[in-house]
Amino acid sequence: MDQRLKYLNAMRTFESAARHKSYSQAAEELFVSQAAVSQQMRQLENVLSVKLFVRTGRKMLLTPSGETLYESTHQALNTLIKGLNSIQQEDIAGDLTITSTQAFCSLWLMPRLYKFSQVHPDVNVRILGSNQKEDLQQKNIDLAIRFGVKKQVSNDDNLVMEDFGEDVVYPVCSPKLLQHMWLQSPKDLLDCTLVSLANEQVVTWDKWFEHAGVKGFESMTKKTEVTSSDMALNAVLSGHGVTLAASAMFSQYIQTKQLVVPFKIKHPVIWKRYLAYDPNSAKRKRIQVFIDWVRAEMASSAPKVLLR
C-alpha cells in the first residue's frame, strides 16, 4: 500500500481548507481547531515535499500543486459519499432542513407548512430564514429556495439548481390608503409614502415609475426603508404607504382583501425561483417529497391579481 495513504485524514482536511480557501472555515466544518488544521497542512506539505497553499490577505490560495491535489481529493470524496448514500438511502420519515429568505419563509412557507405536515407527519421540518446565501454543506441544510433575476448556475459541484418558476412584482397598498389618497393614475403614487428595501438596486421604485411612464419620481422625498419584504408588507397592511412586492408574497392578502393592487403595471424586473440541493443526498427521497409538495402548493396558490 502506498504509504501516503496513511495521511488520508490530512487529505480530507486539505480538501475542506482548499474548498473554503480558509483554515478557519475548514476547522468549523470539521469541528476541530484552526491550529489543528494548520498543523495537518504543514504535516501534509512535509510528507509530499510540495507547497500546497499561499496566504493572500485572509485567504489561503492553492499553488499549482495544491490545485492538482484538490481536484483529486474532491473527486475522490464525492465518489465515496455517493457510494455511501447509495447504500444508506434514508426513508421518507425523518428530519429535513430548508432555507430561504426571511420574507419567503414568513410570508409564504410558514402559513402553508401545516398542509405538508398533514400529508407527511413523519417528516420533521426545520426552517432556516436567512437573507444570506447559506452554505448547504457546512450548515447541514438539505434544500434551499433561492431567488435571482438571472439564470443561476451552481458553483458547487455537489449541488443542482432546479428551476422553480418566477414571480412578478406589483405595487400594493391597503384598501383604506387607496380610498384616502384617491389613486387614479400611477403618477398619484408620488404623493404617497413609498416603502422600499434598504440598499435594493434591482427591483426599485425608480425603475417601476420609468416603466409606467411617470416623470418627476427623482425628487420623491416621502420614503420609508426597511430591511426585508415582510417588514414592508407589515407596514402597508397597517396603511403606511405603498410597496413593491412579489406576487407570491402578497397573494394571501389579496384574497383576504387586506391589500389591493392599485395599478396592474408589472415591475420590469421578474424574480426567478430556484431549488438548490445535493442530488446524491442520503435524504434524496425526503427532499423530493418536499419539492413535489412545494411545487404543487405554489401552482395552486398562484395569485390572480385583483384590481379595485
Domain CATH code at residue 66: 1.10.10.10
DSSP state of 239: T
Which residue, of 71, 87, 103, is where some domain finishes?
Answer: 87
10 Å CB burial of residue 175 (0-12, 13-18, 19+) is: middle
List of residues 6+ apart from 150 with CB closer than 8 A = 272
| Cβ neighbours for 137, distance < 8 A, ≥ 6 positions apart | 29, 156, 158, 278
The total number of structural domains in the chain stands at 3
How far apart CA 288 and CA 233 sit, in angstroms, is: 31
**279 and 157 in one domain?**
yes
Give the phi and the psi of residue 65 in degrees, each rounded to 5.
-65, -40
**Are 58 and 98 in a shared domain?**
no
Whether 295 is in a domain gets the answer yes
Domain residues for 250?
169-255
Q: Tens-digit pLDDT profile for the chain (308 aa)?
A: 787 888 889 899 999 999 988 999 899 888 899 999 999 999 999 999 999 999 888 788 999 999 999 999 988 887 887 777 666 556 778 999 999 999 999 999 999 999 999 999 999 999 999 988 888 888 889 999 999 887 776 666 678 899 989 999 999 999 999 988 888 899 999 989 999 998 888 899 999 999 999 988 877 778 899 998 999 999 999 999 999 999 999 988 998 999 999 999 999 999 999 999 998 888 998 999 999 999 999 988 765 554 44
DSSP symbol at 279 = T
Residue 126 inside a domain? The answer is yes
Helices (H), 213-270: 229-237, 247-255
249 and 219, same structural domain? yes
Compute the Cα dihedral for 243, 244, 245, 250 and give only its sign: positive
Task: Identify whether 260 is part of a domain.
Answer: no
